[in-house]
Copies of this chain bind each other. A is one copy, B any other.
Amino acid sequence: MSRVLVVDDDVQLLRALRITLRAAGHEVVTAPDGAAALREAAAAHPDVVVLDLGLPDLDGTEVLAGLRPWFTGPVLVLSARSDSRDKVDALDAGADDYVTKPFDMDELLARLRSLLRRRSDAPAEPVVVTDHFTVDLAARQVTVDGVPVRLTPTEWALLSELVRAPGRLVGQKQLLQSVWGPAYERETNYLRVYTAQLRRKLEPDPAHPRYLHTEPGMGYRFTP
């Protein structure tokens, strides 16, 4: 069903969680400390992380900080500390839920279900491929028919915004905001100029775009 990474140094609790989560149909990966947690999170690509704040090596919030820049799934924090200050800190550090020990197992499972229900199906694809060109977001490179093509910084910023939302329409305000900044919300000129350049460089027939479509009055859409 889903892969759960459980981070805790309490062997007893770890064992109980493993059994219960397995019984609920989840695949379980465990880590006994912070370093292992970061390692396992990178290796196993879990759907959700259950993180105990009291770890032997790292502080729980440090693990959270190490996770958050790239891990987009939900994180449920376990802690013995019930002080609301701790809760606020953990939640603001990127946690999605905070459960104090001792906790009821059924409640934990229900909270996990709630978090997983929200999980979206867009796990940040690093490389986008079409019949005519490929866009490697990580390497910052696009190739057309296997041949690398150079893009200017602005062209790249615009293309990556569109490619990150395949099939979805991206509003012109949003494009202008994230490529040129909030002060340029009305400069739809730029969009026209740069989509034309992108089409010239990427589309097989720039006059009749097949991938970079424009929706008059609304925005642009990349369709793979």
Residues of chain A whose beta carbon lies under 8 Å from any beta carbon of chain B: 72, 74, 84-85, 87-88, 91-92, 95-98, 104, 106-107, 109-111, 113-114, 118, 120-122, 124, 138-141, 150, 152-153, 156, 167-169, 215-218, 221
Contact = CB atoms under 8 A, between A and B. Distances in A.
B167 A139 contact: yes
B87 A110 contact: yes
Contact of A140 (B96, B98, B169): B169
Copies in the complex: 2
B118 A152 contact: no
A210 to B, nearest CB: 13
A86 to B, nearest CB: 10
B104 A91 contact: no
A152 B217 contact: yes
